[in-house]
Chains A and B, each alone.
Chain A
Amino acid sequence: MSSDHSVDKLVMMANQMGRFFTPQRGGDTVGAITNHINRFWEPRMRIAIAAHLAKGGAGLDGPVREAVGRLKEAKVPEKGLSA
């Protein structure tokens, strides 16, 4: 999950979430985006977008950028289970 094409798509998907969660009540847009990504994105997707943020996070909208920064750390186990 590291090609430019894949990362561009992840950025677009994250920004889509941002546009949905921004007007919701409660005010915690960043938390809602973070939670959605944590709950629905496979670890490698989270790692890829976190890496993209580390490289400057081009294209990520404001609250989405912050949300990606708060993602729980994802690990990709080579053998056995991480559970």
Chain B
Amino acid sequence: MSLVHEIDYGTPVSKSAETVKLTIDGNQVTVPAGTSIMRAAMDAGIQVPKLCATDSVDAFGSCRLCLVEIAGRAGTPASCTTPVAPGMVVSTQTERLKQVRKGVMELYISDHPLDCLTCAANGDCELQDMAGAVGLRDVRYGYAGENHLKLEKDESNPYFTFDASKCIVCSRCVRACEEVQGTFALTIQGRGFDSKVSAGMLSDDFLSSECVSCGACVQACPTATLSEKSLIEIGQPEHSVVTTCAYCGVGCSFKAEMRGEELVRMVPYKDGKANRGHSCVKGRFAWGYANHKERVLNPMIRESIDQPWREVSWDEAIGRVASEFKRLQEKHGRLAIGGITSSRCTNEETYLVQKLVRGGFGNNNVDTCARVCHSPTGYGLSTAFGTSAGTQDFDSVEHSDVILIIGANPTDAHPVFASRMKKRLRAGAKLIVVDPRRTDIVRMPHIEAQYHLPLRPGTNAAILNALAHTIVTEGLVNEAFVREYCDRDAFEHWAAFVSEPQNSPETVGVMAGVSPEDIRGAARLYATGGNGAIYYGLGVTEHSQGTTTVMAIANLAMVTGNLGKQGVGVNPLRGQNNVQGACDMGSFPHELTGYRHISDDATRTMFEKLWGRPLDHEPGLRIPNMFDAAIDGVFKGLYVQGEDILQSDPNTVHVVKALQAMECVVVQDLFLNETANYAHVFLPGSTFLEKDGTFTNAERRINRVRKVMTPKNGMGDWEITLAIAKAMGFEMPYSHPSEIMDEIAALTPTFAGVSYDLLDKVGSVQWPCNEKAPLGTPVMHIGGFVRGKGNFMITEYVPTDERTGSRFPLLLTTGRILSQYNVGAQTRRTDNVVWHGEDVLEIHPQDAELRGVRDGDWVKVDSRAGGTALRAQITDRVAPGVVYTTFHHPDTQANVITTDFSDWATNCPEYKVTAVQVTPSNGPSEWQREYNAQAEHSRRIAAKIAAE
């Protein structure tokens, strides 16, 4: 397989429907109006020499290399900045152009190191290519003149180097930072000969600047000026494979560029339909965990959790799992064991785990980490619209006029999609942010939210009701949409409810701490500002009213007619890479694939026939129920694939008790994670680079994951599940993950058309993909809802039982940061720790002063569930009375504070509202010290102890 070469058309595509005919070098060319001559030439297979142009950014016209001659026009215009015109006759190669280009190249090369043979870009350097293209044979000026060759390298960024001596000041990096990423960290400092790419202020290097290490500048650089350190160390790749990132729910497509089985670099794939050629610091650079020294490659077992691990063969480990699970079922009944699927694993692997539980264990005790993030999305949207997923594709945002973000922080948690969103906002779309914190997107370069509603944590449903109150009582309802597509009785009932005085902005505003005028203004803007799109995240779902709030969002979209077309919709931003897929694949204990209830006889019979096993018709235990059942002594064994429930689930002390109460905990992961401290069998997992499969992202897009190297642990995750199933007496005869997808397609109407052949052919598809929609469904509910008529539900605000008071006067809310991912198992084992080496507590200056806390001080945070200590960061990003932290580091264990209150419909935990007290501290708490000692003790491996 060769490198996946992507054509650089020089300038972005024109989306005009009109076409223009012209002649380029004697060829008749027809292109959309607005296309540059450069791009039109490329369409005709003619490569005009260029340096400052690339199709990911707008034309700039600075390098003077892409000049052309146009019949009837004077001069030599730049082909990148000159649009085509009807009847235009263009010449790209004339004596005059040759002379000009050669002269330009002479100047460039006269101030460029002549170290091509030892340069990291050797073989992939556009400057080198252009020297060849213009026939440069000598440099008349010599090389002794004033130059930039002694400029120092900036190697501060852990992942890439900036070598100013090789810079041609084409501004591609600066423009990529502005146009693609939207951070505006880079600039050209100085004028004329002193011009230099600079990361922000004069005193800044790349690491200390506002650079977010997305890699767009490195990708755009035509020389070796900005180069990945891995490329410098290893050399140019010789082949590449298109695959899908294993971090967040955006699901970016990447080219894994390889030398043999060694990964050289991950480069965002331009044809990737989720990311359109962009990336973030995690997907682009943070893959070093795959080779981290702490990765475990051999299976291990132990009799009890106070013993050291013992490395064993795969046969012995799998045999232990099967014999223990069988013993537990024999002794405690069929329902005594269960499994947890992973949103970090592929659809195929997830499907297999739920199949193992249902068919092999004979019960429905299977759940997934979506339980603790987006389970309310599934239930809420299914009730309102009939489908448990977001309504749009990511491209839709390009057509939005008003963007309402609630309970989401896309610039940190979904950065690549955030860049697309920011681009639309810079182009004029309006922004409403509903969030207790002043997240970055509220105010950043060239973006300022029209409304930021900094609501008190836990009042989402009330605020949404107040927005709806304004829309209904001020006559802003989209009557035509409601009449045509929604259940009339449900609407009338709901409209009467939201019109009640307790839902008015004036009443809600006081209780939620938000200006009533702002609530009214935001409602008017959303209802009347054109295409209105709602994007939401875990700040919506992780509440006791998570499902209610999802329904309230759906109500808002329906009442304004913001559904069923481009630019609108209800868009859940999924946390992990395959949360959507894990839900689709039947990971919930009450549902088979495609969200069909286990009690449905016809569906269950279909599965029973294909699997050759009878299936239980009763729902199984959800993750929080498994913990309770374990403590009650009726749940004894658990198979956890790719999920660290101890660190990610709330009320850590409760989870520890539950794990300690079980007799056989099996953890399948890359590392000895926190859950493994309480496990009896450890099965080493494989990374996304080592397996074939698919991920489904937040826009329902099914993307291929392709194996680029042999599993270092010897087995793909899917093969491990097969081995367990076989040892349990339940054979699953697959020879490749594509066969698993074929089975999923055969059993799941929304996946009926999906196959690896189709994905290889078209790149990706969004479900539903079936006979009615053979190439998938980018936008749902066009011309009517899947369930029939849109269903308005009453979303009465019910305050959480978690209350502040004199003992716990502050509200803690938790979230993520850009450089880290989820529990940090992967990102903590990369150089991303330079940006976030520990979790900190954000606290408002007033609250800090009241407690005598200074910036950087250790503080203890206590709740009714538990306490931990961490350093304080004083900031007015949070409102008085609200504190915030992340949960990426086990040393902090933020979830020891969170409670086990949960959503009424789905048991999704209420991470976002915990009453706490903050007091000065002198270091980690006693509990943290004990926890760390236990963790260290638990991670001992007998073979290594003996060797020491």
Taking beta carbons and an 8 Å cutoff, which residues of A are in contact with B? 1-3, 5-6, 9, 12-13, 16-17, 19-20, 23-25, 36, 39-45, 74, 76-83
B270 in the interface (beta carbon within 8 A): no
Task: Tell me whether B333 is interfacial, beta carbon within 8 Å.
Answer: yes
Instruction: Enumerate 26 A-B pairs (CB-CB under 8 Å) in ascending A order.
Output: A5-B631, A6-B631, A9-B628, A16-B904, A19-B796, A19-B798, A19-B904, A20-B798, A23-B794, A24-B794, A25-B490, A39-B590, A42-B620, A43-B618, A44-B335, A76-B335, A77-B334, A78-B333, A79-B333, A79-B334, A80-B334, A81-B362, A82-B617, A83-B608, A83-B614, A83-B617
Measured between beta carbons, the chain B residues less than 8 angstroms from A83 are: 604, 608, 614-617
Task: Report the nearest A residue to B329, measured CB to CB.
Answer: A79
Contact B634 A1 (CB under 8 A): yes
Q: Are A42 and B621 in contact (CB under 8 A)?
A: yes
Interface residues as binary, B655-695 with A (CB distance below 8 Å gives 1, 0 otherwise): 00000000000000000000000000000000000000000
Which residues in A have their C-beta under 8 angstroms from that of B632? 1-3, 6
Whole-angstrom distance between the Cβ of B587 and the nearest chain A Cβ: 14
Q: Is A42 within 8 A of B617, CB to CB?
A: no
- Determine the distance from Cα of A68 to Cα of B293 in the docked complex, in whole angstroms: 53
Nearest chain B CB to A37's CB is how many angstroms away?
10
Q: Is the Cβ of A23 less than 8 Å from the Cβ of B904?
A: no
Interface centre among B364, B490, B619 (most CB of A within 10 A): B619
Cα A47 to Cα B900 with chains together (Å): 22
- The interface residues of chain B lying within 8 Å CB-to-CB of A76 are 333, 335
**Interface range, B side:** 35 or more
Name the CB-closest residue of B to A16. B904
Measured between alpha carbons, how far is A82 from B632 in the docked complex, in Å?
Answer: 23
B589 within 8 A of A: yes
Q: How far is the CB of A36 from chain B (nearest CB, A)?
A: 7
Q: Which of A6, A36, A40, A82 contacts B628 (CB 8 A)?
A: A6
With A1-B628, A23-B497, A39-B590 already in contact, 9 other A-B pairs whose C-beta atoms are closer than 8 Å:
A19-B796, A23-B796, A25-B490, A40-B619, A45-B621, A76-B335, A77-B333, A82-B617, A83-B614
Q: Is B88 an interface residue (CB 8 A)?
A: no
In angstroms, Cα B621 to Cα A82, docked, is 16
Please tell me which one of the listed residues B489, B497, B621, B904 contacts residue A13 in the complex, with CB atoms under 8 A apart. B904
CA–CA, A13 and B928, complex, Å? 31
A2: B residues at CB distance < 8 A: 632
Residue of A nearest to B904 (CB): A16
* Interface status of B757 (Cβ within 8 A of chain A): no
Residues of A within 8 A of B544 (CB): 16
- Residues of the A chain whose Cβ atoms lie less than 8 Å from the Cβ of B597: 39
Cα A22 to Cα B335 with chains together (Å)? 33
CB of B365 closer than 8 Å to a CB of A: yes
B323 within 8 A of A: no
Interchain CB contact under 8 A, B497 and A36: no
Taking a contact as CB atoms closer than 8 A, the residue among B334, B365, B619, B904 that contacts A20 in the complex is B904
The 4 closest A-B pairs by CB, nearest first: A16-B904, A25-B493, A81-B614, A23-B794
Contact A36 B620 (CB under 8 A): no
Flag if A74 contacts B618 (CB, 8 Å): yes
| Cα of A42 to Cα of B489 in the assembled complex, Å | 33
Residues of B within 8 A of A39 (CB): 590, 597, 599, 619
Instruction: Point out residues on B near A: beta carbons under 8 Å.
Output: 333-335, 362, 364-365, 489-490, 493, 497, 544, 547-548, 589-590, 597, 599, 604, 608, 614-622, 625, 628-629, 631-632, 634, 793-794, 796, 798, 801, 900, 902, 904-907
- Which residues of chain A are near B798, meaning CB under 8 Å? 16, 19-20
Beta-carbon contact of B616 and A25 below 8 Å: no
* Residues of the A chain whose Cβ atoms lie less than 8 Å from the Cβ of B493: 25
Expressed in whole angstroms, the Cα–Cα distance for A12 and B590 within the complex equals 21
Within 8 Å by CB of B489, from A6, A25, A81, lies A25
Kindly state the separation between the CA atoms of A23 and B547 in the bound complex, as whole angstroms. Answer: 15
Assess the B590–A40 pair: CB atoms within 8 A: yes
Query: B383 → chain A, closest Cβ, in Å?
Result: 10
Q: Determine how close the nearest CB of chain B comes to the CB of A64; give it in whole angstroms.
A: 11
**What residues on A are CB-neighbors of B634 within 8 Å?**
1, 44
In the complex the two chains form, what is the Cα distance from A43 to B635 in whole Å? 13
Q: A25-B489, A42-B625, A45-B625 are in contact. Are A17 and B904 (CB under 8 A)?
A: yes
B618 contacts A82, C-beta separation under 8 Å: yes
Contact assessment for B629 and A1 in the assembled complex, using a CB-CB cutoff below 8 Å: yes
Bound Cα distance A13, B903 (Å): 8
* Chain B residues whose CB sits within 8 angstroms of the CB of A36 once the complex forms: 905
B900 to chain A, nearest CB (A): 8
Q: A5-B631, A20-B905 are known contacts. Are A81 and B616 too (CB-CB below 8 A)?
A: yes
Q: Are B902 and A13 in contact (CB under 8 A)?
A: yes
Give complex CA distance A44, B617 in Å. Answer: 14
A17 to B144 Cα, complex, angstroms: 81
- Docked pose: A76 CA to B635 CA in angstroms: 13
Whether the pair A44, B904 counts as a contact (CB closer than 8 A) is no
Contacts of B618 in A (CB 8 A): 42-43, 74, 82
Give complex CA distance A76, B629 in Å: 14
For the complex, give the distance between the alpha carbons of A45 and B796 in Å.
27
B626 nearest in chain A by CB position: A42
Pick the contact of A82 from B490, B616, B629 — CB < 8 Å? Answer: B616
Q: How far is the CA of A20 from the CA of B333 in the complex (A)?
A: 35
- Give the complex CA separation of A24 and B548 in angstroms: 12
Q: How far is the CA of A20 from the CA of B796 in the complex (A)?
A: 7
A78–B363 Cα distance when bound, in Å, is 12
Q: Assess whether A42 is in contact with B365, with CB atoms less than 8 Å apart.
A: yes
Q: Smallest Cβ distance from A3 to chain B, in angstroms?
A: 5
B486 to chain A, nearest CB (A): 13
CB distance from B464 to the nearest CB of A (A): 15
A residues within 8 A CB of B548? Answer: 20
Cβ contacts under 8 Å, A77 to chain B? 333-334
Q: Which of B617, B628, B631, B634 has its CB near the most chain A CB atoms (within 10 A)?
A: B628
Nearest Cβ on chain A to B208's Cβ, whole angstroms: 48
Cα-based distance from A12 to B599 in the complex (angstroms): 25
Report A-chain residues with C-beta under 8 Å of the C-beta of B907: 13
B905–A17 CB distance below 8 A: yes
Which A residues touch B628, using CB under 8 A? Answer: 1, 5-6, 9
CA distance A44 to B336 in the complex (A): 11
**Across the interface, which residues of A come within 8 angstroms of B604, CB to CB?**
83
Give every chain A residue within 8 A of B794 (Cβ-Cβ). 23-25
In the assembled complex, how far is the CB of residue B73 from the closest CB belonging to chain A, in whole angstroms?
Answer: 70
A12: shortest Cβ distance to chain B, in Å?
A: 7
CB pair B793 A3 closer than 8 Å: no
CA distance A36 to B379 in the complex (A): 11
Greatest chain B CB density within 10 A among A6, A42, A77 is at A42
- B residues within 8 A CB of A45? 621, 625
CB distance from A44 to the nearest CB of B (A): 6
Instruction: Looking at the assembled complex, report how far the CB atom of A23 sits from the nearest CB atom of chain B, in whole angstroms.
Output: 5
Question: Chain A residues near B902 (CB, 8 Å)?
Answer: 13
Which residues does chain A contribute within 8 Å of B905, judged by CB atoms?
17, 20, 36, 40
- Alpha-carbon distance A36/B468, docked complex (angstroms): 27
Give the complex CA separation of A82 and B363 in angstroms.
10
| Chain B positions within 8 Å of A20 at CB level | 547-548, 796, 798, 904-905
Q: Report the bound CA distance from A3 to B616 in whole Å.
A: 25
Q: Which residues of A contact B904 (CB under 8 A)?
A: 13, 16-17, 19-20
How far does the Cβ of B785 sit from chain A's closest Cβ, in whole Å?
A: 18
